Amino acid sequence: MTEHTVRSFDDQLKHLKNLIVQMGSLAEAELEGAIAALTRRDTGLAQSIVGSDSHLDELEQEVANLAVRILALRQPMASDLREIVSALKISSDLERMGDYAANVAKRAIALSQLPAVKPAGSIPRMARLVQAIIKDVLDSYVERDPERAVDAWRRDEEVDEMYTSIFRELLTYMMEDARNISACTHLLFIAKNIERIGDHATNIAEIIHYLVLGRQIDRARPKGDTTSFAVVRPGEGAGGGSSSEAGG
């Protein structure tokens, strides 16, 4: 970030950046807490995660108000304009990540009242990967490091592949025993919420690349989610290779 003749302009831009970092830390903590509530079947922790989501909403509004004020008073151009527009976009992605984490916590409350099912163990592994991506994306924002952002961006494909595997496994458990349907349905939505958090982290990585370099990433986003084509037939096992793919 370049220094400006008017010191207050620099202070406003720094405050904007700090708000984004604060939102990122909160979104990351919400996901971590929601997954802890799920694995421990801790309804108290889950309820606290749901309650804390309003703080992210407030911070997003603060980012929007500050951005509008800077645009009106400073009429920024070039990199300064990218800084402000990027902050608006990133804050929106972070707020949505918090919403998805809160949804995970809500379903953790429901799951705590049902018998545990085996596939629940796969979901924390996917969440840890998403958390690592979020951390790298936030670090790349602070350090203005587009290469680190692109590295995180590439790993979203692995999240998609894990989600596809969990999706197949959960379908199989529901087909094998109807008593698993309620728990597995909640787990399906939880897995999808975590996958969507990964998508929003990937969006932020793309924004950071544009913020620093002034251009989009010159490759198509890697995708590994094939759940739209997944078919699990009665009698097939819970292993990832037992289901077939229809379509291309």
Instruction: Look at residue 245 in the predicted model and tell me its pLDDT.
Output: 37
Distances (CA, A) of 154 to 32, 142, 179, 205, 222: 22, 19, 38, 10, 7
CA gap 49, 194 in Å, rounded? 15
Give bridge partners of residue 244 from the DSSP assignment: 231
pLDDT averaged over the chain? 89
Instruction: Look at residue 220 in the predicted model and tell me its pLDDT.
Output: 73
- What's the rounded mean pLDDT across residues 114-126? 85
Distances (CA, A) of 37 to 33, 43, 182: 6, 7, 18
CA gap 94, 89 in Å, rounded? 9
CA gap 123, 170 in Å, rounded? 11
Whether the predicted pLDDT of 145 surpasses 70: yes
Which pLDDT band, with edges at 50, 70 and 90, does 247 fall under? Answer: very low
CA gap 62, 20 in Å, rounded? 10
Structure-block tokens of residue 225: 């989610």
How would you class 224 by CB atoms within 10 Å of its CB: exposed for 0-12, middle for 13-18, buried for 19 or more?
middle
Instruction: Look at residue 136 in the predicted model and tell me its pLDDT.
Output: 97
3-class secondary structure, 244: strand
Instruction: Look at residue 230 in the predicted model and tell me its pLDDT.
Output: 59
Instruction: Look at residue 197 in the predicted model and tell me its pLDDT.
Output: 98
* pLDDT tens readout for residues 171-192: 999 999 999 999 999 999 999 9
Q: Give the global pTM.
A: 0.86
CA gap 210, 85 in Å, rounded? 11
Query: Cβ of 220: how many Cβ atoms within 10 Å?
Result: 6
Which pLDDT band, with edges at 50, 70 and 90, does 76 fall under? Answer: confident
Instruction: Look at residue 45 in the predicted model and tell me its pLDDT.
Output: 97
